[in-house]
Chains A and B, each alone.
Chain A
Amino acid sequence: MLEIKNLHARIGEKEILKGVSLTVPTGEIHAIMGPNGAGKSTLSYVLSGRDGYEVTEGEVFYNGQDILALAPEDRAAAGIFLAFQYPVELPGVGNANFLRTAVNAVRRKRGEAELDAVAFLKLARAAVKRLHMKEDFLKRNVNVGFSGGEKKRNEMLQMALLQPGLAILDETDSGLDIDALKIVAEGVNALRSPNFSALVITHYQRLLDHIVPDVVHVLSAGRIIRSGTAALALELEAHGYAGLEAA
């Protein structure tokens, strides 16, 4: 379970999150929608521990543990995964090598045995196939020269291999073609279980056709201004945020 209580955060002098409260019970998938610049990506970075984001007030618990004091890598080991809105390129770093290093780092921290190259490749190849990615994906350098959609799929590949307990997807659907959108959704749905929860940040209802959320929140100007069922997303699709903010 993820519990965010009255979270305030700023970048430099600028306060971006102004008291976000929200709870995602284990097993549920929540969507976060909201206008550009509302603070959605900021929230995802604060949850995963990026430097430069100062929490001035509030608390975040994941499965009862206060995570704000943890380093990003320890949050990853605790099971938190962020699919980046803008995945980062790592020149010269092979994708397979990166993935195996990541998987083994997390396994080590969790006290599990590391995977050898053969065992890992078997898992990775199967995941690549499930995500309908090209075979050479594993051989290429991390995100270098990947198309926008390929980068997003690569995030999903990482998620599939890291098997998180909490996935935060920051606009993973942006820039995806219709088939890719379905594949990403299948990837998330495949992880659905009583032990998995997700925060899905998106601007579009169409993703939520495939990943049906338990709750939809609207984040605007650093606060959650509405929460509701999946129907809320349809309402937003029809009327935009303008009406909401007035309300």
Chain B
Amino acid sequence: MSASMQAIAEQKYKYGFTTDIAMEDFPRGLSEDIVRRISAKKSEPAWMLEWRLKAYRLWLTMEEPDWAHVKHPPIDYNDLYYYAAPAAPAPKSLDDVDPELLKTYEKLGIPLNERAALAGVAVDAVFDSVSVATTFRDTLSKSGVIFCPISEAVREHPELVKKYLGSVVPVRDNYFSALNSAVFSDGSFVFIPKGVRCPMELSTYFRINARNTGQFERTLIIADDDASVSYLEGCTAPMRDENQLHAAVVELVAMDNAKIKYSTVQNWYPGDANGKGGIYNFVTKRGACRGKNSKISWTQVETGSAITWKYPSCVLLGDGSVGEFYSVAVTNNHQQADTGTKMIHIGKNTTSTIISKGISAGKSENTYRGLVKILASASGARNHTQCDSLLIGNECGAHTVPYIESRNSSAKVEHEATTSKIAEDQLFYCRSRGLSEEDAVGLIVNGFCKDVLKELPMEFAVEAQKLLAVSLEGSVG
């Protein structure tokens, strides 16, 4: 690729700018002292510090997993910064937020000013290790909804945090969940009380800005009996030559008849066309359908990151509970994605639906990895899985790794998988009607992903469609 072509390719990641602002960070590396400093920085109670230290000690005994279909040079965990935050004291209200930060979010298309904000969407803005603003909190609190940075919830709602934190993703679940539990810095906390339908769409916007800094977000969402909420997360990062680590843990809890819809539009910096730079996105997301007839629905559009390692899952405990996973994962150039879901059926008559659309272009590798597990107790359980892969070009890979374990003979599990290429005749047909090759690819890819995109909240579906087209630019011809 010529230098000018490359420049064009890199411009396409329009969120690649950096914000120049005075920052405070801790020295590189991880130690008990760093864990203590993070906890102290957030004025945490002793129990929280204890929890973190236990997690840290456990993490020291664990090994990084190597089963995913991804390759990367070893990560030096002692070379990372574990805490970076704007140096100014935490803002008390939106009016106190540093104008540089407001500008940053403005540029990202997320105005934090409530008058300018997207109607009906409340935003928690997380910048490196801290939440810098949360909008519409007053509006929400009128209906009893708690939506705040998790660091604040630890102080203000300790009984809820103690009860639920780590209850869905135990500290020891995996290497990255243990690491996150030790050093998590910020993320969102949501509590929807009994019988309340959250009156607004909630969203968290994660931005990694600082160099060499890991972001360890922690999100906890609880929907009590008969409550419902729709939550969306977005993520971007500047273009940097080195790889950066994002290791998040997200836990969802749905009680009787509660519904949680969790949507992700993941657009971390993917690295350049030669595979230099980009975010390592190692994320553990899990929802527990604890109550009867509860429902958790994951929708993800994954276009960014150099490496994505992520399996949003549902534990279907309550009788009649429902788990859904709708995923579009796009990889281009040298990106690698190993993503999928786990549906664990425990309660009676539980149902799960998995629709996964993987699109690979360039020299990328795209793997769907999924587990459907039906326990002996789950009479009448049903699962339907549809995994489709679309290949663009001849140098990329698509892999489907479905695991099915059923211990109940009354359960019904269906799995369908297809692999296809964008056909030359489809491209020519579109081009003969005046569409450029890239628009043609965008159109065909959006058609391929339609069943997933229609699950996104409307405001974001259009954005996601554009993102898909942009992610694949330069992938044909």
Taking a contact as CB atoms under 8 Å apart, the answer to whether B434 and A93 are in contact is no
In the complex, A132→B411 CA distance in Å?
Answer: 49
A-contacting residues, B411-468, CB 8 Å? 423-426, 428-437, 439, 443-444, 446-451
| Contact flag A82-B432 (CB < 8 Å), given A90-B426, A90-B443, A105-B439 | yes
Q: Which of B424, B431, B447, B451 contacts A73 (CB 8 A)?
A: B431
| Contact flag A106-B431 (CB < 8 Å), given A90-B443, A91-B447 | no
Taking a contact as CB atoms under 8 Å apart, the answer to whether B431 and A72 are in contact is yes
| Contact flag A105-B433 (CB < 8 Å), given A90-B443, A90-B444 | yes
Taking a contact as CB atoms under 8 Å apart, the answer to whether A105 and B436 are in contact is yes
- A200 interface hit (Cβ, 8 Å): no
Q: Which of B432, B446, B449, B450 contacts A72 (CB 8 A)?
A: B432
Q: Which of B424, B431, B436, B448 contacts A92 (CB 8 A)?
A: B448
In the complex, A73→B431 CA distance in Å?
Answer: 5
| Contact flag A91-B443 (CB < 8 Å), given A49-B432, A106-B434 | no
- A42-80 interface code vs B (CB 8 A; 1 in, 0 out): 000000111110000000000000000001110111000
Q: Give how many A residues have a beta carbon under 8 Å from the other chain's beta carbons.
A: 32
Taking a contact as CB atoms under 8 Å apart, the answer to whether B429 and A84 are in contact is yes
Q: List residues of chain A with CB within 8 A of the CB of B423.
A: 88
- Closest B residue, CB atoms, query A108: B434
- A109 interface hit (Cβ, 8 Å): yes
| Contact flag A73-B435 (CB < 8 Å), given A87-B429, A98-B443 | yes
Q: List residues of chain A with CB within 8 A of the CB of B443.
A: 90, 93, 97-98, 101
- A102 interface hit (Cβ, 8 Å): yes
CB distance from A177 to the nearest CB of B (A): 24
In the complex, A93→B469 CA distance in Å?
Answer: 14
CB distance from A228 to the nearest CB of B (A): 30
Q: Which of B428, B447, B451 contacts A93 (CB 8 A)?
A: B447
Q: Which of A48, A51, A91, A105 contacts B435 (CB 8 A)?
A: A105
- Closest B residue, CB atoms, query A106: B434
Taking a contact as CB atoms under 8 Å apart, the answer to whether B448 and A91 are in contact is yes
CB distance from A181 to the nearest CB of B (A): 23
Q: List residues of chain B with CB within 8 A of the CB of A90.
A: 426, 429-430, 443-444, 447
A-contacting residues, B379-419, CB 8 Å? none
- Closest A residue, CB atoms, query B357: A92
Taking a contact as CB atoms under 8 Å apart, the answer to whether A48 and B432 are in contact is yes
In the complex, A110→B437 CA distance in Å?
Answer: 18
CB distance from A100 to the nearest CB of B (A): 11
- A158 interface hit (Cβ, 8 Å): yes
- A183 interface hit (Cβ, 8 Å): no
CB distance from A175 to the nearest CB of B (A): 18
In the complex, A84→B439 CA distance in Å?
Answer: 20
Q: List residues of chain A with CB within 8 A of the CB of B436.
A: 73, 105
Q: List residues of chain B with CB within 8 A of the CB of A84.
A: 429
Q: List residues of chain B with CB within 8 A of the CB of A106.
A: 433-434
- A141 interface hit (Cβ, 8 Å): yes
In the complex, A15→B71 CA distance in Å?
Answer: 47
Taking a contact as CB atoms under 8 Å apart, the answer to whether A88 and B433 are in contact is no
Taking a contact as CB atoms under 8 Å apart, the answer to whether B446 and A93 are in contact is yes
Interface residues of B (CB under 8 A from A): 423-426, 428-437, 439, 443-444, 446-451
Interface residues of A (CB under 8 A from B): 48-52, 71-73, 75-77, 81-82, 84, 87-93, 97-98, 101-103, 105-106, 109, 141, 158, 162
Q: When A and B form their complex, which 10 residue pairs have the shortest distance between CB atoms, in order from nearest? A: A92-B447, A93-B447, A76-B434, A102-B433, A106-B434, A72-B431, A88-B429, A92-B450, A105-B434, A73-B431
List 16 A–B pairs whose Cβ atoms lie within 8 Å, in order of A's numbering: A49-B432, A50-B428, A52-B424, A72-B431, A75-B432, A77-B434, A81-B432, A88-B429, A90-B430, A91-B448, A92-B446, A102-B430, A102-B434, A102-B435, A105-B439, A106-B434
